[in-house]
Amino acid sequence: MSVQVENPASASVRGRWPLLALVVLALVLVGLLLVWLNLRGEQGVHAYGHGGWSGSTETRAALVERGAYLARVGNCAGCHTAAGGAEYAGGRGLPTAFGTLYTSNLTSDKETGLGLWSAQDFWRALHNGRSREGRLLYPAFPYDSYTRVTRADSDALFAYLQSLPAVRAQTPPHALDFPYGWQGSLAVWRALFFSPKDWQDQPGKAPAWNRGAYLAQGLGHCAACHAPRNGLGASGQAMSGGFVAGQSWYAPSLLDPGEAGVRAGQESAWVQLLQTGSGPSGSALGPMAEVVARSTQHWQPQDLQALASYLQEQGAAAPSAGTDGHGAIKAVQPGQMALGRAVYERQCAVCHGAQGQGTPGAFPALAGNASVTMAEPRNLLLVLLDGGYPPSTRQQPQPHGMPPFGHVLSDAQVAAVASYVRNAWGNKAAEIGTMEVYRAREGRGF
């Protein structure tokens, strides 16, 4: 009689099969879930048929004209025009924390642009963030906002882009760190942070409020800059302020009147800033100067008023962070204020006035200026170091700029004068240290 003794190794392998099967099943289910999450909302993208318009009764000429206006509202040329290149021909590099993305050619060229695209393909890109070939698009193209654009506006915008002269311009390949250049990574990001939205006016709200909401949340994509982002680059629609991706500038809150929010009764001054580039309390500088030059100065006045109406109500409902954001503000050291005052009187008072009152029509007042007293001082330091240049607009073709002082002032002097203007003439804000100035010079943030 013989006894069969099972090999322990074989038994071990056989015992692992159920676990391996469960792992494989889990991976398959996760994969199917990712596919479903990235395809949700696409069942309705063929509502008007391949290549068809949305049933609008507009003439082709009227559709193109309206699309041209919508392209200005969305500042499409701002991103899709490289320095020295043809408008809308793409190729502009957009720096991000994950590498550099290059914008696509939006002209009607059939090889490198949208010449072979249909209105349906374009709608799919805006609404679902997917290219004509079905590839997932990177959210540097803010389809998390554009998904709210109506089909009618999408068709008008596409009609305008198709009317542009064809420019053959091949977009450089993206230069992304691993694994961000992989479509699988993008699928995971979209599954976590993106789902298509269909725009619906809110019942009970005035038409102007709904129009402002549509512009802010949709084609205007205000949250692309003015909302905070998490470590994976995703943001909500809460426009409470955030750092501009790949740049040193801070996009202030559009909800907090202590930053760039619309103060009750001052809507006209806020609109003036977007129309001309300058207002009673400051000028559009940095990235916002380009937005004003290419986009908001061309908005219809009623659209700017609608945007102001919407943001003013949103701000009234949001809690204010105040000017310091950290509770009580410590008094600036007397020596620091004395040094800051000396620098101010020597370098700044000739334009901004001995009492920070500014020069009407030329240089903004610093007294009572929210841009000066914001809890986040980065923009103030950047202007002191590198200068500030408002945009040239139709209503203000030759604006007054501010020269840079980073080459003539030490870190200690910049910190002192920044602390002084934040705490003189009734202003109240936290003191600025030399380390903050050093980091601003080095572009390291705070």
What is d(CA 178, CA 418) in angstroms, rounded to the nearest whole number? 40
The burial of 39, by beta-carbon neighbours within 10 Å (0-12 exposed, 13-18 middle, 19 or more buried), is given as exposed
What is d(CA 46, CA 44) in angstroms, rounded to the nearest whole number? 5
The secondary element (H helix, E strand) that includes residue 63 is helix 60-73
What is d(CA 350, CA 223) in angstroms, rounded to the nearest whole number? 37
What is d(CA 267, CA 306) in angstroms, rounded to the nearest whole number? 10
Provide Rg for the chain, Cα atoms.
Answer: 26
Q: Helix (H, G, I), strand (E, B), or coil: what is residue 235?
A: strand
DSSP state of 243: E
Residue 438 CB contacts under 8 Å (≥ 6 apart), including other chains: 411
CB 160 within 8 Å of CB 67: yes
What is d(CA 276, CA 70) in angstroms, rounded to the nearest whole number? 19
Q: Binding-site residues for heme c, please?
A: 76, 79-80, 222, 225-226, 348, 351-352
User: Distances in Å between the alpha carbon of 370 and those of 136, 374, 426?
Assistant: 40, 6, 12
Q: Looking at 277-395, list the stretches that DSSP marks H as alpha helix, in order from N- to C-terminal side.
A: 287-294, 301-317, 334-347, 349-352, 370-373, 378-386
Residue 360 CB contacts under 8 Å (≥ 6 apart), including other chains: none
Q: Helix (H, G, I), strand (E, B), or coil: what is residue 93?
A: strand
- Rounded to 10°, the helix 151-163/119-128 angle is 120
Tell me the CB-side half-sphere exposure of residue 1, using CA atoms within 13 A: 1
Q: Which of 397, 395, 377, 396 is nearest to 440 (CA)?
A: 377
Q: Binding-site residues, please?
A: 76, 79-80, 222, 225-226, 348, 351-352
